[in-house]
């Protein structure tokens, strides 16, 4: 059901210390990646309440990207371990709710990994394009 004209809207929740900095690095390095992501900076991915992810999906995001620091690198010690558990449980809930869990993607990307950031977003946008629009999207 690949629709050539479909441009996914992706909400990105990213931790200030790692993935958001990686996005900045990708920017200043002039790396190319699709402009589909709306970044939201968090102090820590561990501060992401699962209800924000549900809200983003319910309000029409086609995908939700969550970026945090690699294990062991969290500025607050264990925030990313919490994120890992929450998102795993949330994905299980999403599946039971009839929403493809691939619409939510969690990645650990450090401040130095601008290339990984650009590549991940590119890959995620492609994947969401294949999945098509979020079925929750209200009729325009």
Question: Can you give the binding site for other proteins, defined by CB under 8 A?
Answer: 49-51, 54-55, 57-58, 71, 81-82, 84-86, 88-90, 92-93, 96-99, 135-136
Of the two residues 93 and 112, which places its CB atom closer to other proteins in the complex?
93
Of the two residues 23 and 131, which places its CB atom closer to other proteins in the complex?
131
Rounded to the nearest whole angstrom, what is the least distance from the CB of residue 76 to other proteins in the complex?
13
Rounded to the nearest whole angstrom, what is the least distance from the CB of residue 54 to other proteins in the complex?
4
Retrieve residue 45's tokens.
């991915």
Of the two residues 15 and 57, which places its CB atom closer to other proteins in the complex?
57
Rounded to the nearest whole angstrom, what is the least distance from the CB of residue 119 to other proteins in the complex?
21
Other C-beta atoms closer than 10 Å to the C-beta of 117 total 31
CA within 13 Å, CB half, 38: 11
**With b meaning 16 or more CB within 10 Å and e meaning fewer, what string describes 85-107?**
ebbeebbeebeeeebbbebbbbb
Retrieve residue 47's tokens.
């501060």
């Amino acid at each position: 059901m690949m629709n050539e004209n479909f441009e996914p809207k992706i909400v990105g929740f990213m931790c200030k210390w790692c993935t958001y900095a990686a996005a900045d690095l990708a920017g200043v390095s002039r790396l190319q990646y699709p402009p589909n992501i709306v970044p939201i900076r968090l102090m820590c991915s561990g501060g992401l309440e699962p209800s924000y992810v549900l809200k983003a999906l319910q309000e029409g995001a086609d995908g939700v990207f969550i970026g945090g620091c690699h294990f062991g690198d969290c500025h607050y010690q264990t925030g990313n371990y919490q994120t890992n558990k929450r998102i795993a449980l949330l994905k299980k809930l999403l599946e039971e709710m009839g929403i493809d869990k691939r619409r939510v993607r969690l990645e650990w990307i450090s401040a130095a990994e601008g290339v990984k950031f650009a590549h991940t977003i590119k890959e995620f946008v492609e994947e969401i394009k294949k999945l098509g629009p979020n079925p929750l999207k209200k009729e325009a």
